[in-house]
Structure 1
Amino acid sequence: MVLWAFALFFLVLVFYLRREDRREGYPLEDELTGRLDTVGGPLHTASTKSFLLPFGRGRVTAPTQGREPVDIAARRTDRFAGAPYAPTGNPLVDGIGPAAWAERARHPDLDMEGHPRIVPLSVASDYAVAVGDPDLLGWPMLGADGVVAGTIDDLWIDRADRLIRYMQVSVGGRAVLAPMMMAKVDRRRRRVVIDALLASQFADVPPIEAADRITLYEEERVQAYFGGGYLYATPARQEPLL
């Protein structure tokens, strides 16, 4: 009796977990024809559930209905499922491969008190660079080619994690953000190097709208642009032709 009860419980648990994990990414479709592969049904698809977002951000409902439109600036390199895509434009801007981004929320990441987590050090008067660490303001920013891309004129800090997230770089009269986690700080030469991009490519870093905050979507775009540079910054970084 106990064995049968356990088997029944386990069976119900499996069905429950499979229903819940189909809230995102389903139904699957054939990559070539677009035909739906997993239409689902009452036993396979979870009922619609709404989640209340914090700080009055409204509600989000899952699973969503219908297919989200996707326009990719790339072409398929061959006619079989799983074939790679080749960019048809600027892959760093178009979001191809490692430069791809997700459509995240258009509002800042907030701390437990509802304040923006990531802000410029120039407006966070109660924070300062730790004693013993170099103050990067005024230091040149170099790309992978060793050319100066711009000058660091501010630091963006994460007030929740107490660290520097981005460096604000003045590039050709506009301010762009560069991820601190990709930077190599050269104390001896008083310069910062990010080898993800060439110096000329810093000019096309996705901009942010506000001067004192950055949204989750804008963070996604900036991180994707720099991350994609490790493959697309130069032709030599891409796979060889066999």
Structure 2
Amino acid sequence: MHTELTARMDVAQIALYAFWIFFAGLIFYLRREDKREGYPLLYEDDGSRSSVGFPAFPGMKRYLLRGGHTATVPNWQNDRRDAPVTPAAPWPGSPYVPTGNPMLDGVGPASYADREDVPELTMGGVPAIVPLRADSSITIEQRDPDPRGMEVFGADGEVGGVVRDVWVDRAEMLIRYLEVEVSGVADRHVLLPMTMARIKRKWKGHHVAVQAVLGRQFADAPLLANPDQVTKREEDRIVGYFGGGNLYATAARQEPLL
């Protein structure tokens, strides 16, 4: 019976049809899953209209995080519909240009995400990024230059401040930030990302050079709520400020290279 049945079937064609059905289902599944971020799409006229398209939105997904709380995705908490920008031209798809101080407003390359306003933790549950004054067990290698006490120069060659402490990542064992006491402003300390600083030597000694911002712009960098602790949200704003300076620190940087 089975031999007679299979003799009348084109097994290769059935396998091909089964593969097509499976592949179509896979495409449908992946197309729904990739709509968990970036959807619904908003029209640029007034932002009141939106579109999801086909297939429909897959619904919310929840993740259980360390500590017992949950995270739901997608979430639109980081969306900023009131950003101080305006279209460069009247047609749809035109790029946006800032209307205020983009480094302070957090737009363009200075953008940041409003992450949780809590510090990054190590596997042991303690803040990962701390100043050296908060952890005496960590020291700077004696053969390396100690940046504490060095002057910090901006891209214009002007002094922006003096390094007062070094912030280290206890999980990765590397320097994350330099704490800079701003020149000319009493009791104002800001964090400078180490990735945007270079320790250099000149005839009068070592100094820290920063090309991202000008000397006077250190005074406007985001401040910390706790002088011995930096949160995830504060980190994003700090890095966004200095990163945005690569384009917005001077008007000349926004012009074509050639």
> After the TM superposition, which residues 130-145 of structure 1 pair with which residues of structure 2 at under 5 Å, given as runs?
130-145=141-156
User: Higher mean Cα deviation, 182-191 or 131-140?
Assistant: 182-191
Query: Which residue in 2 is equivalent to 1:27?
Result: 40
CA distance in 2, matches of 1:106, 1:69: 17
Residue type of the partner of 2:31? Answer: R
Q: Describe the superposition over 1:42-79 as per-residue Cα deviations: whole angstroms up to 9, x where unpaired.
A: x43112221112123x2222234899552111222210
CA distance in 2, matches of 1:116, 1:53: 17
Query: Which residue in 2 is equivalent to 1:49?
Result: 61
Q: CA RMSD in A?
A: 2.3
Shift of 1:40: 4.1
Structure 2 gap ranges (5+): 1-13
CA distance in 2, matches of 1:199, 1:64: 38
**Identical-pair percentage:** 47
* Alpha carbons of structure 1 residues 67 and 191: separation in structure 2 relative to 1, 3 Å: closer
Which of 64, 70, 74 is the equivalent residue of 1:59? 70
CA distance in 2, matches of 1:214, 1:45: 36
Query: Which residue in 2 is equivalent to 1:74?
Result: 85
Residue type of the partner of 2:231? Answer: T
* Alpha carbons of structure 1 residues 186 and 67: separation in structure 2 relative to 1, 3 Å: closer
CA distance in 2, matches of 1:18, 1:87: 34
SS, match of residue 154 in structure 1: strand
Residues 1:87 and 2:98 aligned together: yes
* Alpha carbons of structure 1 residues 114 and 4: separation in structure 2 relative to 1, 3 Å: farther
Which of 184, 191, 195 is the equivalent residue of 2:211? 195
Shift of 1:183: 0.7
Residue type of the partner of 1:204? Answer: D
- Conservation of the 8 A alpha-carbon contact between 1:32 and 1:80: no
> After the TM superposition, which residues 1-242 of structure 1 pair with which residues of structure 2 at under 5 Å, given as runs?
1-34=14-47, 36=49, 38-40=51-53, 43-56=55-68, 58-64=69-75, 68=79, 70-171=81-182, 172=185, 173-188=187-202, 189-240=205-256
- Conservation of the 8 A alpha-carbon contact between 2:117 and 2:233: yes
CA distance in 2, matches of 1:191, 1:65: 42
* Alpha carbons of structure 1 residues 209 and 35: separation in structure 2 relative to 1, 3 Å: closer
SS, match of residue 119 in structure 2: coil
* Alpha carbons of structure 1 residues 68 and 114: separation in structure 2 relative to 1, 3 Å: same
Residue type of the partner of 2:213? Answer: L
* Alpha carbons of structure 1 residues 66 and 79: separation in structure 2 relative to 1, 3 Å: same
* Residues matched between the structures, number: 240
CA distance in 2, matches of 1:66, 1:180: 29
